[in-house]
Amino acid sequence: MATVSNPNAAVTAGNGVGPVTRVVTLSKSSITNDEARAAITTAENEGNTVAGVIMETNVVTVLLQGAGITAGANYGAGSTGVTSAVTLTFTQ
């Protein structure tokens, strides 16, 4: 566990990962690698840089920096049933 070495230190808001960073979910029952790749490529084409990805059975969580996404159903070229949503936005 981290410790604070300066007892007079102030806690300030910040994320350390860029001026605007979004946590985005791409959801579908048993989402495939190809569907995830198509959705992530669409996010990149919307003006984002991928900073991280977690892939699970029914959801892919992506850390994006940039313009944001057009959230909604059938997200990703050639993908049917993938729903995208912005779950968190960090700004500095």
Tell me: pLDDT of 19 over 60. Answer: yes
Instruction: Give domain status of residue 66, yes or no.
Output: yes
Q: Are 57 and 10 in contact (CB under 8 A)?
A: no
Find the CATH number of the domain harbouring 45.
3.30.70
Task: Note the pLDDT of residue 58.
Answer: 97
Instruction: Give domain status of residue 12, yes or no.
Output: no
From the number of C-beta atoms within 10 Å of its C-beta (0-12, 13-18, 19+), residue 77 rates as exposed
- Looking at the 3D structure of the chain, how many domains does it have? 1
Rounded to two decimals, the pTM is: 0.81
Tell me: pLDDT of 91 over 90. Answer: no
Give CA–CA dist 16/8, Å, rounded.
Answer: 21
Q: What is the pLDDT of residues 38-90, one digit of tens each?
A: 999 999 999 999 999 999 999 999 999 999 999 999 999 888 999 999 999 98
Q: How confident is the model at residue 16 (pLDDT cuts 50, 70, 90)?
A: low
Instruction: Give domain status of residue 13, yes or no.
Output: no
Tally of helices (H runs) and strands (E runs) in the chain: 1, 4
Token reading at 45? 């084409």
Instruction: Give domain status of residue 28, yes or no.
Output: yes
